[in-house]
Amino acid sequence: MGRWVVGGGRAVGTRHTLRFVSEIPAELVALRASIDNLDAALVHLLAERFRCTQTVGHLKARLGLPPSDPDREVAQMARLRELAEESGLDPAFAEKFLAFVIAEVIRNHGTIAQQSVRTAD
């Protein structure tokens, strides 16, 4: 749903949550802007991470290595849990997040390996 403009004043929300911008405290607006910037940074970092893992996937395919490396995954998980604890982030959340990312990387590596086999035929 889009944003609403009412009577020349600026209002935000849907028709169910209509609220004038002047009612939103400046601190909340600033915090939301910071969150938006952090979300953008996360997306850019994930994109860069997947560019790197894409290259790893091609290298693994060329070397005949499996898409998954369980020892590395365990080490990465432990490392991330420690970083999360040091940063005040819930380690269980960090682990779930990394598990999701790793699963996607492994899926991509499997796809790259299959494409590499078809290309070699």
- CA geometry: angle 12, 36, 101, nearest 5 deg: 130
Domain that holds residue 108: 5-120
Which residues are CB-contacts of 95 (< 8 A; sequence separation ≥ 6)?
77, 80, 81, 84
* In the block, residue with structure tokens 């996607």: 104
Residue 44 and residue 53 in contact, taking contact as beta carbons nearer than 8 Å: no
Question: Residue 103 and residue 98: Cα distance in Å, rounded?
Answer: 8
CB 10 within 8 A of CB 21: yes
CATH of the domain at 54: 1.20.59.10
Number of structural domains found in the chain: 1
Q: What is the pTM of this model?
A: 0.72
Digitized pLDDT (tens) for each residue of the chain, 121 residues in all: 444 444 444 555 565 655 555 688 999 999 999 999 999 999 999 999 999 999 999 999 999 999 999 999 999 999 999 999 999 999 999 999 999 999 999 999 999 999 988 877 6
